[in-house]
Amino acid sequence: MFEDKNTTKTPLESLGEFALIDALTHTIKLQNKSSLLGVGDDAAVIDHGSKQTVISTDLLVEGVHFDLSYMPLKHLGYKAVMVNLSDLYAMNAIPTQITVSLAVSNRFTLEALEELYSGIALACKNYKVDLVGGDTTSSTTGLTLSITAVGMVSKGKLVTRSGAKENDLLVVSGDLGAAYTGLQILEREKAVFKVNPNNQPDLSSYTYSIERQLKPEARKDIIELLEELKIVPTSMIDISDGLSSEILHLSKASRVGFQLYEEKLPMDPEVSLICEEFKFNSTTAVLNGGEDYELLFTISQKDFDKVKNHPLLTVIGHAVDPKAGCQLVNGLGHQIELTAQGWQNFNP
């Protein structure tokens, strides 16, 4: 976790747009040879030569995607970068540059935005990504943060959602459900705080889940692992909206069905305990929780021995005839149709 060490408060109205940009980015250094021109001109200049360029953009809106009552600004900056890098890793690409745009209300000070940018800068440093531009404007509704990520992938190694074939194995990295259970803990403690502001919660039993919600990590290591194992997935997607939703996305794009086995779903023990505490089904948390930012992909049967019993990868199912649809096979052998119950935009 991070600590906020700022004590001084500089009103944003005391700076112009360009002074603000300079204050937030003057310590950022370019790390990649492909970053020919970064912050300070009308556009960034990136040279990828014979590589394929991959670009992704995500928008995070206060009150919709994050709650600043329990999301520290430094964590928000870090997480916003992870959300975008994860999209690029899901295409088997290596992120190299990002741009950051924000709309911000006058309740934020310069120091608050510096805290936000310190998280962005740390993410860039950890993942060897360059911040090369962006935009800032005023807002009447809090904070909106938009990040565009640019990356590259060697020709022939680009992975999309549409390449899965019948009998391919369905594989997931890491474990699932912890970001959702972490959110439940934070929302509960927020409600308790509203009733009793003097309450000091003991969150020591929920450290893993809370960190998975507030400070996720994009799975660069899995892309490196697949390269090492000489595996090019037939299809891939990152898990941002929930496992069920992502499986249905792969199914639609690849025109295959999937059988998913409940007993194979990877879950941290803390997730099970929190689900028991809140009295909801742990499988539901795994299927519909979202924000895990793990990678879900399919591989050919011939690559099974390469991933079998690997501590970072779990085979959770396989692709079937599209007429069979997408089914969860539970512990009793019953088939339950998968539905998309993860994050839905524009729901009231």
Q: Rg of the Cα trace of the chain? A: 21
Q: Where are the CATH 3.90.650.10 domain residues in the chain?
A: 169-176+217-337
Q: What is the DSSP string of 1-15?
A: ----------BGGGS
CATH superfamily placement of domain 12-153: PurM-like, N-terminal domain (3.30.1330.10)
The pLDDT of residue 26 is 86
The pLDDT of residue 282 is 95
The pLDDT of residue 347 is 46
Topology of 169-176+217-337 in CATH? Phosphoribosyl-aminoimidazole Synthetase; Chain A, domain 2 (3.90.650)
Q: Where are the CATH 3.30.1330.10 domain residues in the chain?
A: 12-153
The pLDDT of residue 2 is 61
Query: Looking at the DSSP assignment, which residues form a beta bridge with residue 219?
Result: none
The pLDDT of residue 346 is 35
Is the Cβ–Cβ distance between 290 and 331 less than 8 Å? no
Beta strands in the chain, from DSSP E residues, in sequence order = 35-37, 45-46, 52-61, 94-104, 130-138, 143-153, 169-173, 235-238, 257-261, 295-299, 313-320, 326-329, 335-337
* 156: CB partners within 8 A, 6+ apart: none
Q: How far is CA 330 from CA 95, 169, 244, 282, 287, in A?
A: 38, 18, 14, 13, 13
Is the Cβ–Cβ distance between 109 and 73 less than 8 Å? no
| Interatomic CA distance for residues 242 and 288, integer angstroms | 4
Site of tokens 């290591």: 221
Coil, strand or helix at 111: helix
pLDDT tens, position by position, for the chain (348 residues)?
A: 666 566 788 888 888 766 888 888 888 888 888 887 777 655 566 777 777 788 999 999 999 999 999 999 999 999 999 999 999 999 999 999 999 999 999 999 999 999 999 999 999 999 999 999 999 999 998 999 999 999 998 878 989 999 999 999 999 999 999 999 999 999 999 999 899 888 888 899 999 999 999 999 999 999 999 999 999 999 999 999 899 999 999 999 999 999 999 999 999 999 999 999 999 999 999 999 999 999 999 999 999 999 999 999 999 999 999 999 999 999 899 999 998 765 444 344
The pLDDT of residue 5 is 60
The pLDDT of residue 21 is 80
Task: Return the C-alpha torsion angle 78, 225, 94, 121, nearest 10.
Answer: 20
pTM of the model: 0.88
Neighbours of 69 (CB within 10 A): 11
Q: What is the DSSP string of 198-248?
A: T-----GGGHHHHHHHHS----HHHHHHHHHHT---SEEEE-SS-HHHHHH
| Interatomic CA distance for residues 308 and 311, integer angstroms | 9
Sign, CA torsion 285/57/219/129: negative
Query: Looking at the DSSP assignment, which residues form a beta bridge with residue 133?
Result: 99
